[in-house]
């Protein structure tokens, strides 16, 4: 199966590293014009300068901090100016690990703001564009912690269940307009952050807990998202695809 995104415009949030970067790179390499977001203005400026210096086309970096109202509003204004958005991947998210009874309400709300309310506001701008063109593909990145959970992840688990709830609600409203809306729930994935926060021994131990006996490569997550974002996905909507090497089944 060859997936061609030529002529399509995609928005991928949280796309400067990890799974988000792999998704954005895959869409771009397959022909899409991509708008990628990160939270650090200096980094975004440097990436845009690098793209320009190398003569790279169809790739644009935008800065947004979904936990900051002013930053989000400014970003939404920029989104309004983009005439066509065919694909939206809500990947940006945060996770704060803390026991349920020790989570300050402000901290809980920050996780919800970034993981749920931010994507909702983005979709409020994107969906009318998709409806007008009678075409769209939306993928919300959830987590295996939307399917199972563990201590200390109540705020994150709640947010990821909510983002799939948003997925299901939108899938019903938008299917008749040829807009497919799905969630992807990645399992343990070998991202830069995973490598940074675990020793080599811990990574091996973590991989041994997975039925596939290894962690996923970010590209393996991106491949699933790419299919869901493509025209080949013409009928699947409202689903939460768990990409975890069998972890949640053991």
Q: Which residues are catalytic?
A: 156
DSSP-derived secondary structure for 64-125: --TT-HHHHHHHHHHHHH-S---EEEE---------GGG--HHHHHHHHIIIIIHHHHHHHH
Q: Collapse the DSSP code of 52 into the 3-class scheme (helix H, G, I; strand E, B; otherwise coil) and give the result.
A: helix
- Round to whole Å and give the CA distance between 90 and 52: 25
Which two three-digit tokens encode residue 227? Answer: 């299919």
Which two three-digit tokens encode residue 93? Answer: 């998210």
Length of the chain measured in residues: 250
């Amino acid at each position: 199966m060859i997936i061609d995104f030529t002529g399509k415009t995609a928005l991928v949030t949280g796309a400067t590293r990890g799974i988000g970067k792999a998704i954005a790179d895959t869409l771009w390499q397959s022909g899409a014009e991509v708008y990628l977001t990160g939270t650090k203005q200096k980094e975004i400026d440097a990436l845009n300068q690098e793209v320009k210096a190398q003569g790279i086309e169809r790739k644009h970096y935008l800065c947004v901090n979904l936990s900051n109202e002013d930053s989000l509003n400014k970003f939404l204004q920029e989104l309004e100016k983009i005439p066509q958005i065919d694909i939206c991947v809500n990947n940006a998210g945060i996770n704060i690990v803390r026991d349920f009874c020790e989570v300050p309400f402000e901290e809980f709300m920050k996780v919800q703001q970034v993981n749920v309310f931010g994507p909702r506001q983005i979709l409020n701008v994107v969906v009318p564009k998709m409806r007008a063109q009678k075409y769209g593909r939306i993928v919300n990145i959830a987590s295996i912690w939307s399917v199972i959970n563990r201590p200390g992840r109540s705020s994150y688990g709640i947010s990821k269940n909510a983002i799939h709830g948003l997925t299901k609600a939108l899938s019903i409203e938008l299917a008749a307009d040829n807009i497919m809306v799905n969630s992807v729930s990645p399992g343990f994935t070998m991202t830069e952050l995973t490598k940074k926060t675990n020793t080599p021994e811990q990574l091996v131990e973590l991989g041994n807990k997975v039925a596939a006996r290894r962690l996923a490569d970010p590209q393996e997550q991106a491949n699933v998202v790419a299919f869901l974002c493509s025209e080949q996905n013409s009928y699947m909507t409202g689903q939460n695809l768990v990409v975890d090497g069998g972890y949640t089944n053991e």
